[in-house]
Amino acid sequence: MAPSQRPRKKMVSRCNPDTERGTLVFDIAGYSLLKGMRDGEFIRSASFPVGGLDWCIRYYPCFTKKSEGCISSFLELMSEPTGTGVMARFDLRLLNQATGVSTVLIDQVKPRLFDSVNPTWGSSMFKKISELEASPYLQNDRIVIECDITVVLGTPASALETVCEIQVPPSGLLDDLRKLLEAEKRTDIRFKVKDQVFGAHKIVLAMRSPVFEAELYGPIADKQRCATITVEDMQPAVFKALLHFIYTDLLPAMDDLEEDDKEEMVKHLLVAADRYAMERMILVCESIICKRLHVGNVASILALADQHHCNKLKDACIGFMSSPKNKDDVVSSKGYKYLKKVCPAVFMDIWEKLSIA
């Protein structure tokens, strides 16, 4: 077609998406303490806003059995994505603490889609542990993971246009279970705790606790037992909170309690969780208590952790007590003297660490 014959109307379309860049840094101290975490357990960095959304770095000492022998690291979208998600490209690096220069171990040049189905991207084999522990990436029991992220602003277009969109509400399962417990609908077992009685459902208790499963369905279960079980050595409020966690996977709100009372309540819940082998509840309680350690309570909490085999909490207490800024005050406290009397083996561990520190 000759130039004079071309249509006079002209429409130009351009694609020039806006982006926003940022760098996340996760400084991980106590590398050796984290090696005791189980497969699939992880820690998160603080969240960092890029592109109007919050992001963080996940660190796994061991992601799965398949990645055994490696540490794992992932970039995670913390915010709830809108629309079809958000596109971002990123890299994950380890800082060489001798040179101050970081080395790229994962370079995700092609943007990835972060959404509610896939909120994390990274590698389960981020770095071999044998190589890490013989390198300048690990210094003074500390590693530093860095991540450069570029977020594509705006909602990515879907590959297929949808005629309509059906909104799916969030799962209401836990809320339904909570209501079932609170209303005591169709309960088939009752527990007498001091002067209070609580109704529950045997199958739910057995599903959540191996101790309840053995007690209610196992070989030691008394088939002729009446439908009421007396629970000794536990306060009603603690047993009620235990049931709440069994049905909702959450500790109940404690906003009405003073800080000291809240601390005591969590200690009692830790004991209850150990009694009924509620492993996740134990870790939740350990995490809460660990954040509230101070000179006045660390010795008594260490005794509690030793008694109930809470190794992560025990290590946290010993680390706190071994700190140069804390050890003199801890050693002169009443709790430390009590600890020497009731837990002499633990005292020897502490003494060795204090002498080394």
Tell me the CATH number at 145.
2.60.210.10
Q: Is 142 contained in some domain? A: yes
d(CA 141, CA 132): 11
Q: What is the extent of the structural domain holding 67?
A: 19-152
- pLDDT tens for 25-72 read 999 998 999 988 888 899 999 999 998 899 999 999 988 888 889 999
Q: Is 203 contained in some domain? A: no
Q: Is 179 contained in some domain? A: no
Closest to 189 (Cα-Cα) out of 234, 219, 221 = 221
Which residues, given as ranges, of the chain have pLDDT below 50?
1-3, 157-164, 224, 357
Which class for 223: exposed (0-12), middle (13-18), buried (19 or more C-beta within 10 A)? exposed
Could you tell me which residues come within 8 angstroms of residue 204 by beta carbon, excluding any fewer than 6 positions away?
A: 177, 246, 247
Q: Is 45 contained in some domain? A: yes
Q: Is 73 contained in some domain? A: yes
Q: Is 135 contained in some domain? A: yes
d(CA 116, CA 148): 22
- CA within 13 Å, CB half, 143: 27
d(CA 26, CA 146): 6
Could you tell me which residues come within 8 angstroms of residue 246 by beta carbon, excluding any fewer than 6 positions away?
A: 204, 205, 208, 209, 278
d(CA 199, CA 187): 6
Q: Is 100 contained in some domain? A: yes
Q: Is 125 contained in some domain? A: yes
As given in the structure block, the two tokens for residue 127 are 């770095």
Number of domains present in the structure of the chain = 1
